[in-house]
Amino acid sequence: MSRTGRPTDDRKEDRLQFRLSEGDSNKLEYCCEVLGLTKAEVIRQGIDAMYIKAQKQK
């Protein structure tokens, strides 16, 4: 049995697993609560911010 969600042009097929310190986990939870975002959304926005920073250094 397969589950089908809403169609999207931005499929998220890659999975990433990592460990966080308690402090980093608390920071992530805080950001989620204050910003009203999921953990995945906060992490994606962080990746975008770091990508822009890296592009500026080039």
Q: How many residues does the chain have?
A: 58
As a whole number, mean pLDDT of residues 47-57 equals 97
Instruction: Name the residue ranges covered by the structural domains of the chain.
Output: 22-57
Residues 6+ apart with CB under 8 A from 42: 28, 31, 32, 35
Residues 5-43 pLDDT 10s: 777 888 888 999 999 999 999 999 999 999 999 999 999
Predicted local confidence at residue 36, as pLDDT? 98
Predicted local confidence at residue 27, as pLDDT? 98
